[in-house]
Amino acid sequence: MSPSPGHDVILKLEDISKVYAGTVAVKHANFEVRKGAVNVLVGENGAGKSTLMKIIAGVERPTAGRILLDGNEVSFSSSGEAVSRGIGMVFQELNLFGNLSVAENIFATRELINAFRKIDHKGQERRAAEFLEQLEAGIRPDMLVEDLRIGQQQLVEIAKAVSLDARILIMDEPTSALSAAEVEILFKVIADLKARGVAIVYISHRLEELIRIGDYITVLRDGRITGQEEMKNVDTQWIVRQMIGSDAKDFAKADGHQPGGEVFRAEEICLPRVTGGLAVDHVSLSLRAGEILGIYGLMGAGRSELFDCIMGRHGQASGRIFIDGKPVKERDTARRIQRGLALIPEDRQREGMVSILSVASNLTLASLSRFVSLFHIRGGAERQAVAQMVRELSIKVADPAQEVSSLSGGNQQKVVIGKALLTGPKVLLMDEPSRGIDVGAKADVFRTMRKLSRDGLGILFATSDLDEVMALSDRIAVMSNGKLTGMFDRAEATEAAIVAASALGHGPAPHTETNAR
Amino acid sequence: MTDIPGKATASAASSGSLLLTLMKLRTFIALIVVLVFFSIAAPNFLSAANMILMAKHVALNAFLAMGMTFVIITGGIDLSVGSIVGLCGMVAGYLVLNGIDLQIGYTVYFNVVEIALITLLVGIAIGAINGLLITRLNVAPFIATLGVLYVSRGLALLSSDGRTFPNLVGKPELGTTGFGYLGAGKMLGLPVSIWILVVVALGAAYLARYTPLGRHIFAVGGNERAARISGVRVNMVKMFVYMFSGFCAAIVGLIISSELMASHPATGESFELNAIAAAVLGGTSMSGGRGTIGGTIVGAFVIGILSDGLVMMGVSSFWQMVIKGLVIIVAVVVDQAQRRLQSRVTLKQMAKVG
């Protein structure tokens, strides 16, 4: 590609690789960042975008390869070092101190001090006000960060990065929590920074957004860079093609069994957001026995929250759910599990398993009552069930008494799935079941899902992986901003229609609501 | 519960795993070390009479430490046990001496068994208050039990205006005699309090290992969110551990006032700290999820023998405190080192397996 004049390369990554224990996150990546331009980086979840950015920002160190800044090789041992070289980053997860004020957050670690080494709060607030002014957010610098809406917090994070006076500014999904109006303001700020010659690296899932503000685009897939172009030469189709690629992943084949009758129905599920509005907005759906219903949506679309509501984890949720046509009146998780619901949560470490307990204890944690006579756990029956689950899910473990944290991510995920299956569920809710596990384990998980649906289990699974939802689902539901914005049969579903439905109600995308219902 | 299978560790017979085994047995080794040391250094230490006396001392702390172990495994703390000991002692003493005045000219006197049961119920009820504060009102365990510590101690002092209830012999015509049995009685040559300890300890160890409730206690401490999603009734589990802790404290209150044949409202001050020390020494992790009843009992014995042995050697009580503190710190440091070594050995095994 031939760069436009004036867009000199300021930062260059040459043949960068990053290996974590067991997985390769980035493979031989070459990436150029140009001055005075928006350099877009796009790819599916787990493609390695965030890892690549963390390498640039000095948070992670590459396993191999060189980083060239202004043509000179550099290596950052900490993010502070990268900041001192003019590289700033807006992180995807908010890195703010909720108990401190906005101004204190913006100047954290580089506090303005007076002659007596006392923090100059007045000065900080004055300076912070200038940055916040640009963002037109109506945030006062003396407000506590925890009192702000998530969107406003994201703006504070952006103000913090802008205040660094960085030459290179990395924004990792900066709009994920912003309203349409706030997105417009952010774009104005970005245009302003561009005019001042700042190089911006912009990561997002929202293709319309990228096409609108990007100058250069780089696509990552499975840790490899699969395409690099000037934005004016590409369209949505090209991006999707580069993101997904032609080589099919190992999805278990559908076996053509016919789903049975309705096993689960949710009606008008609503969950209020703490900051106002609805995180889950009047969602109704039904699931048949032996059917796999994929729920596609971007981060924050409300998929996990919907699952939480179904499991009874939120007291303030409203709506009705039915299993086999009978209403589920129980409001707590324990009794909903007894009614035949089971959840495999998205965050394995925090919600899926008790990492210091053994594989066996984790597997039977949700179903202990099955192995109990009076109050005594029958060790034999428990061991037998554990052994059977280990075999069925091909969990690689030398001894089930081993701590579960000693397993690889994929095997841990299988333990979490096994725990849910041992409760004998009728409906299985799987939230991002393939997140953070390697290819082989993914294939195992997908095969298991197929097998379970053949055995008559109803499966609801949420994902932000387009490929996955297309390949595995019998039907596809799309969520956006807490609403159900699309419902497709597999035969009629197209990637374009799904992506369009997932962007409804988000940002500046000027889409008609033809797919909504 | 937290034991790693012997098979896996033994198969990697490197120096690392030998060290690891030694570290795992550290509380036992410490117990043997103090026993051997005092048998040599303190005359009469090994006599049967002294052993039984020490066991009686240790038993008091061991009861509290068992209750504390369950609480700490769920990730909480119970600072109120010392005060519950005091209050329960006063309740028992009051009932023996005064019975309950029904305000209609009659006074009900209970026999000793009934008094013991009522006292145990009082302990359990105070534990339930702790539990309700923590689960329903979301008060941090440290604060909730600190508040209950003061309230219980205050009530104990109020019950007698700060005086001792002396001479709890009881009156034969009221059927209140025999209160001394718990503290001074013997069965098969061993003091009754030791037998009670054996029974409660076996029950607690069984509970921890072979019942769903026990498993849930560990799960709640290991990862409360995951436990909740798996259908564990987290609030019920927490209620239980605080009630059990109150129950154990009530036993101690009964035993002490029975031994002394008197109830003093200041009984049990700072007992909670000894109980925490014994639990930690026995390998209970303050961050929750790890611990065993057996370890805690051994920990209580190490602390008890250490202090009794030092007394017999004539070491000043000031030095005793210094030594006790050092032993606790060393125990936790070794515990941390064991965790690190453990994870290294596990990684090595994983690498070997592939």
Q: Which of A314, A406, A429 to mutate to test the interface with B (most CBs of B within 10 A)?
A: A406
A399 in B contact zone (CB under 8 Å): yes
Task: Pick B219's closest partner by Cβ from A345, A354, A379.
Answer: A354
Q: How does pLDDT run across B143-173, given as a tens digit for each residue? A: 999 999 999 999 999 999 889 998 888 777 7
Cross-chain Cβ contact A350/B227 below 8 Å: no
Per-residue confidence (pLDDT) for residue A152, from 0 to 100:
81
Residues of chain A with CATH 3.40.50.300: 9-244, 262-353+426-502
Does the CB of A6 have a partner CB in chain B at under 8 Å?
no
Q: Which pLDDT belongs to residue A490?
A: 84
Predicted local confidence at residue B25, as pLDDT? 81
Does B348 reside within a domain? no
Burial grade of B6 (CB within 10 A; 0-12, 13-18, 19 or more): exposed
B341 part of a folded domain: no
CA distance B142 to B164: 30
Residue type, B301: F
- Give the distance, in angstroms, between the CA of residue B244 and the centroid of all CA atoms in the same chain: 10
- Cα–Cα distance for residue pair B89/B91, rounded to 1 Å: 5
Of the partner residues B3, B225, B350, the one whose CB lies closest to the CB of residue A351: B225
* CA A435 – CA B219 distance, rounded (Å): 24
CB-based contact (8 Å) between A366 and chain B? yes
Answer yes or no: do A337 and B8 touch at CB < 8 A. Answer: no
Task: Judge: B222–A419 Cβ closer than 8 Å, yes or no.
Answer: no
HSE-CB at A374 with a 13 A cutoff on CA atoms is 3
B339 lies in some domain: no
CATH number at residue B71: 1.10.3470
Q: Alpha-carbon distance B182 to B177, whole Å?
A: 12
Secondary structure (3-state) at A3: coil
Look at residue B14 and tell me whether its pLDDT is greater than 70.
no
- C-alpha closest to that of A183 among A129, A137, A228, A220: A137
Q: Are the beta carbons of A402 and B226 separated by less than 8 Å?
A: no
ipTM: 0.82
* Chain-centroid distance, C-alpha A406: 25
Within a domain: B308: yes
Q: Is A356 on the interface with B (CB under 8 A)?
A: yes
What is the number of alpha carbons within 13 Å of residue B298 lying toward its C-beta? 22
The 10 Å Cβ neighbour count of residue A245 is 16
Q: Can you give the pLDDT at residue B278?
A: 93
B246 touches B272 (CB < 8 A): no
SS (H, E, C) A408-461: CHHHHHHHHHHHHHHCCCCEEEEECCCCCCCHHHHHHHHHHHHHHHHCCCEEEE
Residue B150: give the domain boundaries.
47-333
Q: What topology does CATH give the domain A9-244? A: Rossmann fold (3.40.50)
> What would the pLDDT profile of B251-309 be if each residue is shown by its tens digit?
999 999 999 999 999 999 989 999 999 999 988 988 888 999 999 999 999 999 988 88
- CATH of segment(s) A262-353+426-502: 3.40.50.300
In this structure, are residues A426 and A323 in contact, taking their beta carbons and an 8 Å threshold?
A: yes
**Among the listed ranges A279-288, A505-514, B29-38, B96-105, which one has the minimum average pLDDT value?**
A505-514
**Chain A neighbors of B3, CB-CB under 8 A:** 401
Residue B312 forms part of a structural domain = yes
The string of DSSP codes covering A152-209 is HHHHHHHHHHHHTT-SEEEEESTTTT--HHHHHHHHHHHHHHHHTT-EEEEE-S-HHH
Q: Judge: B228–A333 Cβ closer than 8 Å, yes or no.
A: yes
Question: In B, which residues are within 8 Å of A333 by CB distance?
Answer: 228-229, 231
**With the C-alpha atoms ordered B250, B252, B258, B263, is the resulting torsion angle positive or negative?**
negative
Tokens of A12: 């260059």
Q: What confidence score (pLDDT) does residue B349 get?
A: 63
Mean pLDDT of each 10-residue bin along chain A, 517 residues long: 66 83 74 89 76 85 86 84 85 81 86 81 86 80 83 83 86 77 84 88 81 88 82 80 63 74 90 80 90 85 89 87 90 90 88 90 91 88 92 86 80 91 92 77 86 91 84 89 88 83 60 38
Put simply, whether A312 touches B (Cβ < 8 Å) is no
Q: Average per-residue pLDDT in chain B?
A: 87
pLDDT of residue A45: 63
Structure tokens at B343: 């994870």
- Alpha-carbon gap, residue B225 to B260, rounded angstroms: 46
Q: What is the mean pLDDT of residues B182-188?
A: 85
**Tell me, what's the pLDDT at A79?**
80
- State whether B228 and A368 contact (CB < 8 Å): no
Give me the number of domains chain B comprises: 1
Pair A515, A500: CB distance under 8 Å:
yes
